[in-house]
Amino acid sequence: MVQLAPSILSADFSRLGEDVRKIEEGGAHLIHVDVMDGHFVPNISFGAVVMKSLAGKSGLPFDVHLMIENPDAYLEEFVTPQTEYITVHQEACTHLHRTLQHIRSTGVKAGVSINPATPLCMLEEVLEDVDLILIMSVNPGFGGQKMIPSVLHKIEQLVEIREERGLKFQIEIDGGVKTDNIAQVRAAGTDIIVAGSAVFGAEDIPGRVRELISIAEAE
Ligand code: DX5
Ligand code: ZN
């Protein structure tokens, strides 16, 4: 089953609660929460206080994407009854295995992400310690960028590796997904698809969520 995780980075922050209800109405599966610190990425977004303001506003779980340095110092702030995944960047973690264990110790599923320029082999030693692998299809920092399609080969390779080794992690993609490329993204084997501007830039947000899911499900 394919899941859609709209990124609230592109939502209207003055009415975040309403926007989240709209994606739920359209049938979205997760709320993608993009946290940026102005150090790991060249932009600052929001932190746990904003995410927690959405507690109970919908039944959708939080899919937290930490684009921050030193995530160990902050990740527990994102652990709530609604938090399903916390994902850190391989490039930001000196002791990645320890950080992943730290996430799991909080009872939340552990994810790891790699930037477009980072090869898959950097995750080789932690494949058994993750519940989610998030492949960045743009250089992180901003919504509304164009997808770098060459990253899709990483998804295809992950599908093979997961099968060969009998592993169970979910495969997620993030960046530049639109109605005109979501079929290709799903066909590569992606389980969870993030979409920010494609969802919240639409006039009819629930309608766009339905449209993206139906194209992906047709693959
Ligand atoms: C990029 C973020 C993405 C981004 C997705 O740094 O991690 O989640 O907001 O937005 P779109 O779908 O507009 O590329
Ligand atoms: Zn993200």
Give DSSP secondary structure letters for the chain: --EEEEBGGGS-GGGHHHHHHHHHHHT---EEEEEEBSSSSS-B---HHHHHTTTTTSSPPEEEEEE-SSGGGTGGGG--TTEEEEEEEGGG-TTHHHHHHHHHHTTSEEEEEE-TTS-GGGGGGGGGG-SEEEEESS-TT-SSPPP-GGGHHHHHHHHHHHHHHT---EEEEES---TTTHHHHHHTT-SEEEESHHHHTSSSHHHHHHHHHHHHHH-
pLDDT tens string, the chain, 219 residues long: the values are 999 999 999 999 999 999 999 999 999 999 999 999 999 999 999 999 999 999 999 999 999 999 999 999 999 999 999 999 999 999 999 999 999 999 999 999 999 999 999 999 999 999 999 999 999 999 999 999 999 999 999 999 999 999 999 999 999 999 999 999 999 999 999 999 999 999 999 999 999 999 999 999 998
Ligand 1 atom nearest to CA at 201: 13
Assess whether the C-beta atom of 198 lies below 6 angstroms from ligand 1: yes
Q: Is 10 in the pocket of ligand 1 (CB under 6 A)?
A: yes
Q: Which atom of ligand 1 is nearest to the CA of 199?
A: 12
Catalytic annotation present for 180: no
Whose C-alpha lies nearest to ligand 1, atom 9?
143
Sketch out the chain's domains with CATH numbers: 3-218 (3.20.20.70)
Which pLDDT score, from 0 to 100, does residue 210 have?
Answer: 98
Q: Which ligand is nearest to the CA of 177?
A: 1
Judge if pTM exceeds 0.95. yes
